[in-house]
């Protein structure tokens, strides 16, 4: 019979935080405070009700359709992704092992019997390259926290785990929609009990826990669900044409794959005298590839006026401790 218990790696440095959350949970606290990741503004404190946390954990367990879990947590526990893994372990009454957050979480693990893990796209992709067999042993892999572009090139090789792309935020206690990539679902599907609509940006309503939240995200409804186009504050208005950086990045990643390039990058905006704003591409590392070939292929695959006007190179792209890229405008 499953019993909640906790294990820590030797270098895990948030043990006191974990123990404090467990203490508050066991004494019946009804509110918990957590900070957003702060990619666009300063991190802000969000209050989450115990009712919402329990609802999220149970709804997730029902979606995964299993009651036997052994969780590996390699995300910061004071941010939503790691915090909710701890809450799930408490609600599911299961075993959880904490490891120091890293973009290569399996480096110090020789073997494992974990069933469930949550990863950022950056963690997943790096693990796919250097720890494929360890990744393939999971039953469920939840990916979230940022856009996950071109997942098919990874999914077709991972035969054992079910891979879920998730959508949510701190204010909703992590995901409110999931997409089963292993079953070729083409869009995100809201969890039972979640209502959504788009009123310029996406609005989320969970009546059971009396939650309403208006996001900054713009979505497109299709295939019985929705896809996220990007944040409204990231939209580039170039001569009246609305360009979503996330959509551009998907195409760029496809071109990089064709050219066998493995580089981190992001799209942001730059002021322009004629068009107001134009998209620009920032790439991590040196310009050690054929930029002419890259630009030619990319331009052929993009709609008119969507190609980046400039390409910049930087020694390091800044990101949050959960792997989210911090877009810098020029």
d(CA 120, CA 29): 29
Query: What confidence tens digit (pLDDT) does each residue in 29-39 have?
Result: 999 999 886 55
Compute the average pLDDT of residues 152-158: 84
Compute the average pLDDT of residues 2-14: 88
Tokens found for residue 299: 């331009």
Query: What confidence tens digit (pLDDT) does each residue in 189-201 have?
Result: 999 999 999 999 9
Q: What is the pLDDT of residue 255?
A: 92
Q: Which CATH architecture has domain 5-232?
A: 3-Layer(aba) Sandwich (3.40)
For the cut 50, the answer to whether the pLDDT of residue 72 exceeds it is: yes
235-314 has CATH 3.30.300.30 classification: yes
d(CA 183, CA 208): 29
Three-class secondary structure of residue 40 per DSSP:
coil
What is the phi/psi pair of residue 207, to 5°? Answer: -60, -35
Report the DSSP beta bridge partners of residue 221: 226
The answer to whether the beta carbons of residues 119 and 164 sit under 8 Å apart is: no
d(CA 145, CA 106): 19
CA max distance for the chain: 67
Query: What confidence tens digit (pLDDT) does each residue in 88-124 have?
Result: 999 999 999 999 998 889 988 888 999 999 999 989 9
Tokens found for residue 315: 């020694």
Q: Determine how β-strand 45-49 pairs with β-strand 31-35.
A: antiparallel
Q: What is the pLDDT of residue 288?
A: 92
Q: Which stretches does DSSP call E strand in the chain?
A: 5-8, 31-35, 45-49, 70-73, 95-98, 116-119, 140-143, 162-169, 174-180, 189-190, 195-199, 201-206, 211-214, 217-222, 225-231, 236-238, 241-243, 265-272, 276-284, 310-314
Query: What confidence tens digit (pLDDT) does each residue in 255-294 have?
Result: 998 898 988 899 999 999 999 999 999 999 999 999 999 9
Q: What is the pLDDT of residue 1?
A: 47
Tokens found for residue 98: 């904490």
Closest CA to 120 of 135, 103, 136: 103
Q: What is the pLDDT of residue 147?
A: 87
How is 131-147 classified by DSSP, letter by letter? Answer: -HHHHTT-SEEEE-SS-
Ranges in the chain annotated CATH 3.30.300.30: 235-314
46-55, 275-284, 314-323: least confidently modelled range = 314-323
Report the DSSP beta bridge partners of residue 266: 282
Ranges in the chain annotated CATH 3.40.50.12780: 5-232
Cβ neighbours of residue 260 closer than 8 Å, sequence gap 6 or more? none
Q: How confident is the model at residue 329 (pLDDT cuts 50, 70, 90)?
A: low
- In this structure, how many other beta carbons lie within 10 angstroms of the beta carbon of residue 157? 11
Mean pLDDT of the chain: 91
Q: Determine how β-strand 236-238 pairs with β-strand 5-8.
A: unpaired
Top-confidence residue, 50 or 154: 50
DSSP assigned state of 319: B
């Amino acid at each position: 019979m499953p019993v909640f218990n906790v294990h820590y790696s030797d270098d895990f440095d948030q043990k006191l935080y974990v123990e404090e959350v467990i203490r508050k949970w066991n004494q019946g606290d009804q509110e918990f405070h957590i900070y957003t990741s702060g990619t666009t503004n300063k991190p802000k404190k969000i209050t989450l009700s115990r009712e919402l946390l329990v609802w999220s954990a149970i709804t997730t367990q029902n979606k995964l359709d299993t009651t036997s879990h052994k969780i590996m947590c390699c995300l910061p526990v004071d941010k939503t992704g790691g915090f909710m893994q701890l809450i799930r372990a408490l609600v599911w009454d299961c075993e959880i092992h904490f490891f120091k957050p890293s973009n290569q979480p399996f480096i110090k693990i020789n073997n494992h019997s974990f069933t469930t893990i949550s990863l950022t796209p950056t963690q997943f992709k790096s693990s796919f390259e250097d720890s494929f067999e360890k990744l393939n042993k999971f039953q469920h892999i939840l990916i979230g926290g940022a856009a996950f572009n071109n997942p098919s090139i990874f999914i077709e090789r991972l035969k054992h785990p079910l891979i879920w792309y998730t959508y949510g935020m701190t204010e909703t206690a992590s995901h409110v929609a999931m997409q089963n990539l292993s079953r070729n679902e083409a869009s995100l599907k809201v969890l039972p009990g979640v209502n959504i609509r788009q009123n310029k940006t996406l609005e989320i309503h969970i009546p059971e826990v009396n939650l309403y939240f208006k996001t900054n995200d713009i979505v497109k409804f299709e295939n019985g669900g929705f896809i996220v186009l990007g944040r409204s504050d990231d939209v580039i208005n170039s001569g009246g044409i609305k360009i979503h950086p996330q959509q551009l990045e998907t195409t760029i990643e496809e071109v990089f794959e064709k050219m066998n390039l493995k580089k981190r990058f992001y799209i942001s905006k730059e002021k322009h005298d004629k068009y107001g704003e134009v998209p620009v591409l920032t790439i991590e590392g040196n310009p050690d590839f054929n930029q002419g070939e890259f630009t030619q292929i990319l331009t052929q695959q993009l709609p008119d006026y969507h190609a980046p006007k400039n390409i910049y190179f930087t020694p390091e792209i800044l990101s949050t401790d959960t792997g989210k890229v911090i877009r810098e405008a020029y």
